[in-house]
Amino acid sequence: MERAAISVQRCPTYEPELLRSALAGALAPLGGMPAFVSRGDRVLIKPNLLAARAVDKHVCTHPELVLAVAEAALDAGAARVYVGDSPGFGTSLGVLRKLGLPGQLAERGIEIAAFDDPVEIVRPDSVRFRRFEIERAVLEVDKVVNLVKIKTHAQMFMTMSVKNTFGYIVGTRKAAWHLEAGREVDFFATMLLDLHYLRPPVLHLADGIVMMEGNGPGSGTPRALGLLFAGNEGSALDTAICAVLNVPPHFVPTLRMAGELGLGVTDLGKVSWYGPALEDVAIEGIDHPILSHPGKFLAPRPLQRLTRRLLEVRPLVDPKACVGCRICMEACPAKAITMVQKKDRPAVARIHPPLCIHCYCCQELCPEGAIAPKRGLVRSLLRRPS
């Protein structure tokens, strides 16, 4: 493949003209949008549309960036441009409505892909997972442009380019994959890599103008980073983002497994870097998510259960913050959540630990931020100051 290339551009706000200038600046050293989109192409813009949240929560790719990239694809000669994703809850259209985008997209002749038509695809040369059902539009367009929101993630540490293409999977089929591969993070990361390289986007753009840290990807803290990233290879871009955020790449399961399996580019020494030097844009670090899994160990089954309770991190509902919307219960792939009636107030969610698979779908999708990872007793004691 061509040499991996990453471009970084400063962009302090989402002001439309400033953003479009930054986008052009980020794409210029890579050949501009015409290097990725040819005249007559059908192009799918695939943003992060996790859930219908207000723009200022920075849960989804910012709408101004979606518009700017779609316009750039049209200017490059694309015959048809679509915008779509498979949200964790709800519909692509519903999330776009919350972002105020359907009317603006229609005015520009940009279509919305509903992501409700899965088709089966088989790739015999995949590492482990050879059969997927993914959105038909992903396969039928000529080019996919991956539009990433940089966020922390309680299960995968960060959600970036590779993780964003999990949205190829439609609706409830995501839950099935969480049940199949979600408990073991390396296993799940391998699935994400197989899926990503099944239909790799031609271009990756990462919204780091305002990122999310801490309890991401749905209830974390927005943090101004002021950077827009562009790249032609997903793992390479994710590695570059980690370098800027001072996150060791091995913390991110998709990057760790990509390195082990020889998928993509995870060595910055093999990447052409354009824009400000790394040392000029790197920060000291971010507020890390609380991760879950204590790892594998050999012991009698009763001892394993006890040890996991002491060591592992699990999602916990704050009953005072829970409003009983039932989104977590409906989204839980393991059916580990029930609603429990509380005196003089609506029913609240309860997570049953023996059934929980630690996929953190509930924490991702809770609109009130009422679910957060809780450390087991041993981990809590280890973190207490002396």
* Cα–Cα distances in angstroms (integers) from residue 319 to residues 220, 322, 323, 335, 343, in the given order: 19, 5, 8, 19, 12
**Residues 141-189 pLDDT 10s:** 999 999 999 999 988 999 999 999 999 999 878 877 877 665 688 999 9
Domains and CATH numbers, the chain: 4-281 (3.40.50.11440), 301-383 (3.30.70.20)
Side-chain-facing half-sphere of 47: CA atoms under 13 Å = 28
Local confidence band at 312 (pLDDT 50, 70, 90 cut-offs): low
Of 113-122, 172-181, 252-261, which range is least confident?
A: 172-181
Distance CA 361, CA 315 (A): 10
Per-residue pLDDT band for 374 (boundaries 50, 70, 90) equals confident
CA–CA separation, 2 vs 18, rounded Å?
Answer: 30
Q: What pLDDT does 164 receive?
A: 98
Asked if pLDDT for residue 127 goes beyond 50, the answer is yes
322's CB contacts (< 8 A; 6+ apart) are 348, 349, 368, 370
Q: Degrees (nearest 5) of the Cα angle 107, 110, 115?
A: 130
pLDDT number for residue 183: 67
The pTM (predicted TM-score) of the whole model is 0.86
pLDDT, tens only, 40-58: 999 999 999 999 999 999 9
Place of tokens 């409505």: 97
Residue 371: partners with Cβ closer than 8 Å, 6 or more residues away: 219, 315, 316, 317, 318, 328, 349, 351, 362, 363
Residue 58 confidence (pLDDT) = 97
Q: Look at residue 304 and tell me whether its pLDDT is greater than 50.
A: no
Top mean-pLDDT range of 7-16, 89-98, 284-293 = 7-16
Residue 369, pLDDT above cutoff 70: yes
Query: Is residue 114's pLDDT more than 50?
Result: yes
Residue 306 is predicted with a pLDDT of: 52
- On the question of pLDDT at 216 being above 50, the answer is yes
pLDDT at 295: 45
Is the bond leading into 217 cis (omega within 30 degrees of zero)? yes
3-state secondary structure of 93: helix
**For residues 318-325, average pLDDT:** 91
271 token code pair: 């990447």
